[in-house]
Amino acid sequence: MAKTLLVLAATLAAAPLAAQTAPQSPTPSRPAPSAAEPAPEDWHDIPDDEILLIQLASGKQVAIRLAARFAPAHVANIRKLAAARWWDGESVYRVQENWVAQWGDPTEKKPLPPEILTRPPAEFEIGAFTPAQRLSKPDSYAAATGVTADGWPIASDGKAAWLSHCYGMVGVARDSLPDTGSGSELFTPIGQSARRLDRNYTVVGRIVEGMQYLSALPRSDAAMGVYATAAERTGIAWVRLASQLPPDERPHFQVRATDNARYAAMMALRENPAPPTIATGLNVCDLPAAIRRRP
């Protein structure tokens, strides 16, 4: 086994060797790892009409959880676009290094179906900030951050709240004016989180499976990362809600509820790693999405 990083992205793996050999300073705030395990009842099904599937021409599939509750006008458009098969045959046409992958119609000439609201109101912010779990410190972009009971990363200035543009979140591309994004052109941050888009773009979802089929696409050197030629684009075979597929072809996902002591213990473990690791903090974008396929 190669020398590898101890700290895993998606797990709470401790360092067995270090635990045996390093000085053990008492860390009373550190819960037992078993206390952070989800209980069976913590897993809740995500409705089939809140899962948007992108089937790439390569045969790979990307699954997006839609934030139907926080961006209802845009999600309504997205559902209609999928029903109209509007994205079928379109492409991922923009991949900009350390910024975003973006997909839809690169020509902007394809007519939208008549049932689409072409200029829905901006849904940059949502109502009151009532996270199920709150992080202990403010961060660079918000006075308060946390996670909703159903797992969405959220931030607030004390008045308004908004979903955070973390890695893998899905936003609505638009022109200069706030209400010019229909939801037909979507993007996801593929590098450093794109938090400076917070409150300025509508967040409609999060990629919960297949992110690597967007994040590992070749970058474009052209302006804003828009591929200079059609040949560079990644084709999209089709886009559908899971609920628009035959029942036996639907993938089913579950999200872990955060409004319980087990999730709080998971956060505390991350904020208080086992010695000799030094605790440095926890950011809202480092909270795991906590999504799984339904067993």
DSSP-derived secondary structure for 192-243: S--GGGTTTS-EEEEEEE-THHHHTSPPP-SGGGB-SSGGGSEEEEEEEEGG
CB of residue 48 to a copy of itself, shortest distance in Å: 25
By CB under 8 A, the residues from 7 to 66 that bind a copy of itself are 7-9, 15-18, 21-22
By CB under 8 A, the residues from 205 to 224 that bind a copy of itself are 211-212, 215-219, 224
By CB under 8 A, the residues from 63 to 82 that bind a copy of itself are none
Helix (H, G, I), strand (E, B) or coil at 93: strand
Partner residues linked to 44 by β-bridges: 255
The residue within the footprint of a copy of itself, chosen from 167, 236, 242, 253 (CB under 8 A), is 167
CB of residue 127 to a copy of itself, shortest distance in Å: 17
Element containing residue 19 per DSSP (H, E): helix 16-21
CB of residue 121 to a copy of itself, shortest distance in Å: 14
The residue within the footprint of a copy of itself, chosen from 37, 192, 235, 294 (CB under 8 A), is 192
Does residue 113 belong to the site contacting a copy of itself (CB under 8 A)?
no
By CB under 8 A, the residues from 169 to 188 that bind a copy of itself are 173-178, 180-181, 185, 187
Spatial strand order of the sheet with 153-156 comes to 133-134, 144-147, 153-156, 161-163
Nearer to a copy of itself, 111 or 246 (CB): 111
Q: What's the maximum distance between 2 C-alpha atoms anywhere in the chain?
A: 67
Does residue 228 belong to the site contacting a copy of itself (CB under 8 A)?
no
Does residue 118 belong to the site contacting a copy of itself (CB under 8 A)?
no
Element containing residue 35 per DSSP (H, E): none
Helix (H, G, I), strand (E, B) or coil at 51: strand
Does residue 230 belong to the site contacting a copy of itself (CB under 8 A)?
no
